[in-house]
Chain A
Amino acid sequence: MATWTWFHKLASPPYLYRTAGRLLPWFAVPAALLMVAGLYGGLVRAPADYQQGDAFRIIYVHAPSAWLSLMCYSIMAIAAAIGLVWRIKLAHALAAATAPIGASFALLCLVTGSLWGRPMWGTWWVWDARLTSQLIEFFLYLGYIALHSAFDDQQRADRAAGLLAVVGAVNVPIIHFSVYWWNTLHQGTTVLRAGGPAMPGSMLWPLLMSFAGFTLFYAAVACVRLRAEVLARERNASWLQELGGA
């Protein structure tokens, strides 16, 4: 049971607040280094694609933002489910902290995809399975944020938005598997596929660094937003008096 003590301590607002503050630099610094390295590798070091030329370099922001939008939604839905089932308020705080981050990267994925699609497919948009399901995910993010803001009572806001997050989670596997289940214009998986990645190392390594950097960036920003959520929910708590001198 002692091995789960650290997990139960995370349900304590002051402990979570301090832990998120301590972890922040450990996420932020590697995130910055990896993102810079990945973007430099993608823009400068990686050779041009034999078919797409230099337009393929958009993958170094498009693919990591797509990954981040799916990862954030999964975290949001799992956190909301934990909050709804076990009534742990700070799980709802994590979901609320994650939503704006995921929404912004879902939008980035859609726009960069459009900028990539125009020269490659000859169109800014097509209603294929991948693009449509990704757009639905962006709307689900907006719906969560709007629903959460619509209630004055924090508990009702958490429950209503949490239910939407959990129900919308069905869209995550649809987005991922859409390129297999339907005949889509969007290309299939490049990295996670049977037989290994469909990219040479000089192109792959900057992409993997970008993925890692974006993931750590989420962790860093989520730490800050989570601290804000904890403060908003614990407005009258006595432990906050310690913050006065900090």
Chain B
Amino acid sequence: MDQFWQMGGYARFVWPSFGLALAVIAWNVWSALAAHSRARARALRATAMAGGRDGEPS
């Protein structure tokens, strides 16, 4: 098990790479969901205030 964590002496290069990859994946998930949540809230507020129009193709 120790050998696995040591990564043949390259642990300080390998594990930060995988850690950063996980961080980037997590950020992508979180920021996309947050962007959708914000946009949804703004759109619902705007629709409630404006009364809406027909959604024709753009």
Contact = CB atoms under 8 A, between A and B. Distances in A.
Interface of A: 8, 11-14, 35, 39, 43-44, 48, 53-55, 57-58, 61-62, 65, 88-90, 100-101, 104-105, 107-108, 111-112, 115-116, 118-119, 217, 221, 224-225, 227-229, 231-241, 243-244
Contacts, number: 135
A244 B44 contact: yes
Given A232-B42, A232-B43, A55 B8 contact: yes
Nearest to A42: B18
B32 A228 contact: yes
A123 to B, nearest CB: 13
Instruction: Count chain B CB atoms within 10 A of each CB in A48, A108, A231, A238 and give the residue with the most.
Output: A231
A214 to B, nearest CB: 9
A237 B29 CA distance: 27
A234 B46 CA distance: 10
Interface residues of B, number: 38
A236 B52 contact: yes
A147 to B, nearest CB: 18
Nearest to A8: B57
The dominant DSSP class at the A interface is helix
Interface in B8-58: 8-10, 13-14, 16-18, 20-21, 24-25, 27-29, 31-33, 35-36, 38-40, 42-44, 46-48, 50, 52-55, 57-58
Nearest to A11: B57
A231 B38 CA distance: 9
Given A54-B8, A61-B21, A228-B39, A12 B57 contact: yes
Given A39-B18, A111-B20, A231-B39, A240 B52 contact: yes
Nearest to A100: B31
Contacts of A234: 43, 55
A65 B20 CA distance: 11
